[in-house]
Amino acid sequence: MSVKVELIDFLPSQFTSTDDDHHDNNNLINLLKYKINIIPTKRYSLEFSSLNVSGYYSAWHVGPNCFDIVLSNDYYRFIVTNGSALSVFPRAETAEEYENKSIGRKALFEVEFEEITCFNCLKLIKEKDEEYIYASTDPYVVKIKVSDIMRKNPLLVWKSKETYYNIWGLDVMGSQLYVVDYEKSVMILDREHGDHLQYLDDDIGKIEGGGFGIHCFSENEILMSHNSCLELFEKQQGKWNSIRKSSFRMNFAYSIFYEKASDLIYVSDNGGYRLVVVRREDLSKVKSVSGNYKSFGIIIDPLSGLLYVCDSGQFGVLIYS
């Protein structure tokens, strides 16, 4: 008696059989591989229906230093700034999990970092097979392994050799980390070791009214939020040039979140006590919603379509469906 075992690698394959007898089977296997490899994405509804969890307006209680939030797909957890600590919350697949209280409003656990005074903003990136968080603190930029957070180990991969203050925007582009200094300009750090590489003073210059958020669309296109507007920069012949600004006024436009599925940009208008939704193509306003006191970090979970907003004025994270 013999047994034949076939192993499927569950990765999309370009293989096409020339044998007609096996052609249909190969197509079916390739289709299954493709379907398994797809990450489901659900667009946010734009209805801004606030989820009321346990009778509180802020769905997750964090504290006054609730400034930013990131999502770990590897560990199925949210990570939120909480002063010198990072708080870890569970991820829900549907709004009903919050509404029926199967997921509560308290953190699963917190990790306190003795070397950190206060976390300001976070950027989670998958590098090879490991998730990392780049974070701005006072007075350093740091890099942390997400796996260390989940093991409750307050370890740093590196701490910037230079000190920085008032940094509220981070994003990565290639091997570089782009950092927005509110009082100066955009700085570039090396992602591997945290070395300071350069200021973009000559290109972008001192940011009009102070700079906060940043999103890198590509190596030749970045979006920034100022005190009063969004501004799109394009790299032309080696220099960054401003090509477009939003026409409506904001008051302390902080964090930027880009939802690729809808091509929409979400902005926390901190001083305007609102969230603003903007079209990427022309930076025009789609809609805005009031009710936030001190909104900072924004993220949309592509699995559930839920919108999460850090609101330090309400000491927690607001959740919208």
pLDDT at 1: 52
* pLDDT tens track for 195-248: 998 887 666 655 555 678 999 999 999 999 987 899 999 988 888 888 999 999
pLDDT at 207: 56
Q: Which CATH number fits domain 42-320: 3.90.650.10, 2.130.10.10, 3.10.450.50, 3.30.450.20?
A: 2.130.10.10
Q: How many CA atoms lie within 13 A of 155 on its CB side?
A: 11
CB atoms within 10 A of CB 294: 19
pLDDT at 15: 38
Closest alpha carbon to 255 in 122, 88, 77: 122
| Domain layout of the chain by residue ranges | 1-38, 42-320
Tell me how far CA of residue 20 lies from CA of 4, 14, 115, 162, in angstroms.
22, 17, 65, 65
Residues of the chain below pLDDT 70: 1-40, 52-58, 201-210
The sheet with strand 167-173 has its strands ordered as 167-173, 176-181, 186-190, 196-199
Spatial separation of the C-alpha atoms in residues 15 and 17, rounded to whole Å:
7
